[in-house]
């Protein structure tokens, strides 16, 4: 929604408010406030959608397997929210608090943007699934689904973390987690390829590492470490 259109609507609301008799203004003020609040939400979500599309277009300009200097913070932010909105589109009841913590000292990295965006989406999809699963099972216990995304410089590496406070991963599944076609999800809800592909992208194509930490019914944290070229 354009700034001009928002202003036009605000002007119309002001005119309507002036035309309403004094004795009805207080009664209708809540409705007017709700309208303004909804307009602000539309503007916010429209800006976010525009930002996501720009990020996708930016990443799609590169050729397959072409390494180009890229802003990992921008890429991560765009695809974190792309994943969230995709999950929301399929599960209207899904909601989660996403906290992003990006350091300012991470330089541009020579990466394959299409591949790194795939890793971010895979890890975010898993995090969303974990908190959504726990939320459905926690009907009697207060539970606030949360995902924390962090990016910082750690020596000669950039360190990206995606952590959720979901159901965690059972001990018996840990050693098989990056094995192709292995999944802890029910039949039809996972291919078992997301994590194995992500590990191949990070370690095989970018000389980095992908590690996982977890505790059953408490959290799961994936950490991507990528070398910074001098």
CA distances from 101 to 52, 199, 205 (A): 18, 23, 26
The correct CATH number of 64-227 out of 3.30.70.270, 1.20.120.550, 3.30.565.10, 3.40.50.720 is 3.30.565.10
Provide the residue ranges of all domains of the chain, joining segments of one domain with +: 1-61, 64-227
pTM higher than 0.75 for the full model? no
CA distance 146 to 144: 6
Q: How would you write the pLDDT of the chain (230 residues) with one tens digit per residue?
A: 455 555 566 666 666 666 666 666 666 666 667 767 777 667 666 655 655 555 455 444 555 678 999 999 999 999 999 999 988 888 888 899 999 999 999 999 999 999 999 999 999 999 999 999 999 887 667 899 999 999 999 999 999 999 999 989 888 777 777 777 656 665 555 556 778 899 999 999 999 999 999 998 899 999 999 999 86
String of b and e for 23-57 (b: at least 16 CB within 10 Å)?
eeeeeeeeeeeeeeeebeeeeeeeeeeeebeebee
Do 223 and 160 contact (CB within 8 A), yes or no?
Answer: yes
């Amino acid at each position: 929604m354009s700034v001009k259109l928002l202003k036009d609507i605000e002007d119309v609301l002001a005119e309507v408010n002036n035309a309403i008799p004094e004795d009805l203004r207080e009664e209708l003020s809540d409705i007017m406030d709700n309208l303004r609040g909804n307009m602000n939400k539309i503007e916010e979500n429209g800006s976010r959608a525009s930002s996501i599309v720009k990020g996708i277009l930016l990443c799609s300009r590169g050729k397959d397997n072409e390494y180009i200097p890229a802003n990992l913070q921008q890429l991560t932010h765009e695809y974190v929210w792309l994943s969230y909105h995709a999950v929301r589109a399929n599960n209207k009841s899904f909601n989660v608090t996403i906290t992003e913590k990006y350091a300012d000292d991470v330089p541009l990295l020579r990466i394959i943007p299409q591949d790194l965006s795939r890793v971010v989406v895979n890890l975010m999809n898993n995090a969303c699934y974990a908190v959504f699963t726990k939320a459905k099972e926690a009907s009697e216990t207060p539970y606030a689904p949360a995902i924390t995304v962090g990016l910082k410089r750690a020596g000669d590496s950039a360190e990206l973390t995606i952590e959720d406070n979901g159901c965690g991963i059972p001990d018996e599944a840990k050693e098989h987690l990056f094995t192709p076609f292995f999944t802890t999800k029910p039949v039809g809800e996972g291919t078992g390829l997301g994590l194995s592909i992500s590990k191949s992208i990070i370690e095989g194509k970018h000389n980095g590492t992908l590690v996982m930490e977890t505790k059953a019914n408490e959290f799961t944290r994936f950490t991507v470490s990528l070398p910074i070229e001098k």
